[in-house]
Amino acid sequence: MMRQYELVERVQRYKPDVNEALLNKAYVYAMQKHGHQKRASGDPYFSHPLEVAAILTDMHMDEATIAVALLHDTIEDTSATRQEIDELFGPDLGKLVEGLTKLKKLDLVSKKAEQAENLRKLLLAISEDVRVLLVKLADRLHNMRTLNHMREDKRLRIAEETMDIYAPLAGRMGMQGMREELEELAFQYINPEAYRTVTERLAEVSERNKGVIAEIENSLSELFTKYSIKATVTSRQKKPWSVFRKMEAKALSFEQLSDIFGFRVIVDTVEQCYLALGAIHTTWSMVPGRFKDYISTPKQNDYRSIHTTIVGPSRQRIELQIRTREMNKVAEYGVAAHALYKDTGGKVSASHSISKETNAYAWLRRTIEQLAEGDNPEDFLENTKLELFQDQVFCFTPKGMLIALPRKATPIDFAYAVHTDVGDTCVGAKINGRIMPLMTELKNGDEVEIIRSKAQVPPAAWESIVVTGKARSAIRRATKNAIRKQYSGLGVRILERAFERADKTFSKDVLKPVLHRLARKDIEDVLASVGRGELSSTDVMKAVYPDFKDERVTQAPKQREEGWSKIRNAAGMLFQIPGRGSPRKGSRAATGGAVPIRGVRGDLPVRFAPEGAVPGDRIVGIMQPGSGITIYPIQSPSLTAFDDQPERWVDVRWDIDEETKERFPARISVIAINAPGSLAEIAQVIAENDANIHTLSMVRTAPDFTEMLIDLEVWDLKHLNRLLSQLKENSSVSDAKRVNG
């Protein structure tokens, strides 16, 4: 176990003016608090925070961060308190320690909502001070290095969580070295057989190619000497997880991989990067399509380098990375490479945190914005994982602004990346000057111009097209808002009707004083709840007028039945039932005389009762709490169940576009002779009449007869009646009739 003076010496190597008093105090305090606690390995527990601190010294972190590492488990696992740490080390450092304490382990076997809430806490804590992330990743790295001491089931859970969350998060923050080690350690436990096989094959290839690697390094070094370029050339071998992932993604065998080895060229300046590139390309042929300049266009995590592939001295393909020493440092340590803190006497201040202008932090800010926009936990978890794992393409606005997007992103993703309002009003896109479909996959360098319309509402179907979390969240939010608006409008009409029956005048203002009685936070909530059927108009009336009595409750059954007939024929709320798509031009919905229901757009869900309804039927709609409107034929016996709930009745009518053919559901009962081939004959009659069988069930009612219940899809009532007539004429059929409820 590392001694106290050894820790101080490690920090002094890169920070000679280290605050020794702070490190000594944190070391002694943590050691005393953890006392005789043991880890699963049997080692003293204090060895863990000490190793976490050592990992951070390798990243050249300041003494305040090292002190936080030493203390990070004290509040959670010992008798230490936040107040005590504040008194000894200051409130700023205490806040960091408490922030780490509150980060519960992300348990992948628990409910998604719980995992998502823990991820929220992690990202929020990181957004305040990135050193929380650095300590957390160092903590996870040491836990992974000692994972073999845990139970097997726990090892797998921790490894999966590391591969799902921590490794990609390290990558997004530019900490490639940390990411690769976390992935390799997790790979060992997630798929030990594959890890062992890939590792053995890599060792064989490495041994076999020692001479070739040395030859390539010498050739490159000689080339740079010739051009008077001061450069360091090193070889690198792909990590086992990277090899395995590529084999799986591209369905390749190990022998088909051509980039197991690569070479890194490190120079002093950006100018030398391009000089080295010129020397290489004028000496050896470049492989087309394998050149990427991340210096002029850095990755989102601040990674900068030139990538190229050449046909080398022995006619083999060679991957090269060319970068400066500073770029190499950022590539290895990411945000930690920016950690240049002023000497504050051990005090921690957010103003000394890593620059919020780095690309990595820009991504984190966007993720936090999504948090603030109120996604439910499951959506947030899904969207954040999408953001973590996606590779990127770089596109431009017409004014030259660079937009980084995941691979397979569409113009819709681009629009939402520019601004949520741009995405919500997007109706089309020009890619490199040409109008292209919104589902077009964007490529590196595309210039994208978004065509907008204020009348646009993002269709729910867009959610299946986009790939970014931000776009998905915004589309879901817009869809929910549109549905809420529809329900709110319906609620207004229901309440207007209810107030009119009571000889009262309805206005939204009358709801303000009674919101607390209705347990709703605002007027729109009340209206939407009434529209969804979650809150009855009677309850609202009683809240506004406590002495109100619903006279309908005391009506005789016959009077109620007469009342229902009037409601069915003259309700104040008129809905149209369109075919697929929006209401056709010139329809009542289009001119504002009715509330349109756009089924495929998800604005207000509409479905048919089990017995179905077809054009030609008189129909009525019943509001279903939380699930929209169910359409019944007026003769359906099922409607009697809603006789005491008049506020749920909605008059509807068909709005069928004759140019757009669409079938509708109906249920029929067929009693057939129980003989071989009778079912085939019935099916043939249905097929010849251009109807479609959706479901069929048979119940033997007598030795000689079988009753069949058939759910059909037909064009209209005439079509259904014609089909029933032809079924009755069939020699195998005793009777055929429509089923209504």
Q: How confident is the model at residue 147 (pLDDT cuts 50, 70, 90)?
A: very high
Q: How confident is the model at residue 472 (pLDDT cuts 50, 70, 90)?
A: confident
Q: How confident is the model at residue 106 (pLDDT cuts 50, 70, 90)?
A: very low
Which spans in 519-676 are helix H? 523-532, 537-544, 557-570
Amino acid sitting at position 558: K
CB count within 10 Å of CB 687 equals 11
pLDDT reported for residue 712:
92
What mean pLDDT is reported for the chain? 80
- Confidence check: pLDDT of 355 > 60: no
Amino acid sitting at position 13: R
- Confidence check: pLDDT of 578 > 80: no
Percentage of residues in the chain having pLDDT higher than 70: 80
pLDDT reported for residue 358:
62
pLDDT reported for residue 604:
59
- Confidence check: pLDDT of 548 > 90: no
pLDDT reported for residue 659:
64
Q: What is the per-residue pLDDT across 610-658, written as a single tens digit (0 to 9) for each?
A: 888 888 888 888 888 767 788 888 888 888 888 777 777 877 778 776 6
CA atoms within 13 A on the CB side of 23: 24
Q: How confident is the model at residue 413 (pLDDT cuts 50, 70, 90)?
A: very high
181 a catalytic residue: no
Amino acid sitting at position 87: E
pLDDT reported for residue 97:
86
Min mean pLDDT across 154-158, 254-258, 468-472, 629-633 is at 254-258
Q: What is the per-residue pLDDT across 479-505, written as a single tens digit (0 to 9) for each?
A: 888 888 878 887 887 888 788 878 888
Q: Which of 1, 121, 11 is nearest to 65 (CA)?
A: 11
**Candidates 20, 43, 77, 657; catalytic one:** 77
| Pair of tokens at residue 271 | 């100018």
Q: What is the per-residue pLDDT across 422-452, written as a single tens digit (0 to 9) for each?
A: 999 999 999 998 999 999 999 877 899 999 9
- Confidence check: pLDDT of 103 > 60: no
pLDDT reported for residue 584:
35
> How far is Cα 520 from Cα 181, in angstroms, rounded to an integer?
51
* Residue 555 per-residue DSSP state: S
pLDDT reported for residue 600:
27
**Candidates 20, 43, 76, 184; catalytic one:** 76
∠ CA(13), CA(19), CA(20), 5° rounding?
80
| Mean pLDDT value of segment 311-325 | 86
Contacts of 464 (CB under 8 A, 6+ apart): none
Q: Which of 2, 100, 10 is nearest to 56 (CA)?
A: 10
| Pair of tokens at residue 351 | 């103003």
pLDDT reported for residue 62:
87
77 a catalytic residue: yes
| Pair of tokens at residue 724 | 């029933």
pLDDT reported for residue 145:
94
> How far is Cα 235 from Cα 224, in angstroms, rounded to an integer?
16
| Mean pLDDT value of segment 358-377 | 58
Decide: 125 and 99 in contact? Cβ < 8 Å: yes
pLDDT reported for residue 260:
81
b/e sequence 132-141, b meaning 16+ C-beta within 10 Å: bbbbbbbbbb
- Confidence check: pLDDT of 726 > 70: yes
| Strand locations in 192-279 (E) | 232-237, 261-267
> How far is Cα 325 from Cα 376, in angstroms, rounded to an integer?
43
Decide: 70 and 26 in contact? Cβ < 8 Å: yes
Q: Which of 513, 520, 698, 711 is nearest to 608 (CA)?
A: 711
| Pair of tokens at residue 551 | 């006279």
Q: How confident is the model at residue 102 (pLDDT cuts 50, 70, 90)?
A: low
Q: How confident is the model at residue 350 (pLDDT cuts 50, 70, 90)?
A: very low
pLDDT reported for residue 468:
84
Contacts of 92 (CB under 8 A, 6+ apart): 347, 348, 349
Conformation bin of residue 524: beta by default, left when phi > 0, alpha when psi is -120 to 50: alpha
pLDDT reported for residue 175:
85
Which spans in 502-556 are helix H? 515-518, 523-532, 537-544
Amino acid sitting at position 180: E
> How far is Cα 471 from Cα 423, in angstroms, rounded to an integer?
8
Q: How confident is the model at residue 270 (pLDDT cuts 50, 70, 90)?
A: very high
Min mean pLDDT across 152-166, 225-239, 357-371 is at 357-371
Percentage of residues in the chain having pLDDT higher than 90: 27
Q: How confident is the model at residue 383 (pLDDT cuts 50, 70, 90)?
A: low
Go through the chain and tell me how many residues it has: 741
pLDDT reported for residue 487:
80
pLDDT reported for residue 380:
61
**In the block, which residue shows the tokens 């360091």?**
232
- Confidence check: pLDDT of 113 > 70: no
CB count within 10 Å of CB 669 equals 14
| Mean pLDDT value of segment 675-696 | 88
Contacts of 602 (CB under 8 A, 6+ apart): 459, 460, 479, 482, 483
pLDDT reported for residue 337:
67
Q: Sign of the CA dihedral 70, 72, 77, 82?
A: positive
Q: Tell me phi and psi for residue 445, to 5 degrees.
A: 90, -5
Sorted by where each starts, the structural domains of the chain and their CATH numbers stand as 4-190 (1.10.3210.10), 197-335 (3.30.460.10), 555-659 (no CATH), 664-738 (3.30.70.260)
| Mean pLDDT value of segment 301-313 | 87
- Confidence check: pLDDT of 583 > 50: no
Min mean pLDDT across 62-76, 175-189, 323-337, 652-666 is at 652-666
Min mean pLDDT across 103-112, 318-327, 444-453, 454-463 is at 103-112
**In the block, which residue shows the tokens 């992935």?**
183
- Confidence check: pLDDT of 565 > 50: no
pLDDT reported for residue 360:
64
∠ CA(452), CA(418), CA(333), 5° rounding?
165
- Confidence check: pLDDT of 667 > 70: yes
* Residue 66 per-residue DSSP state: H
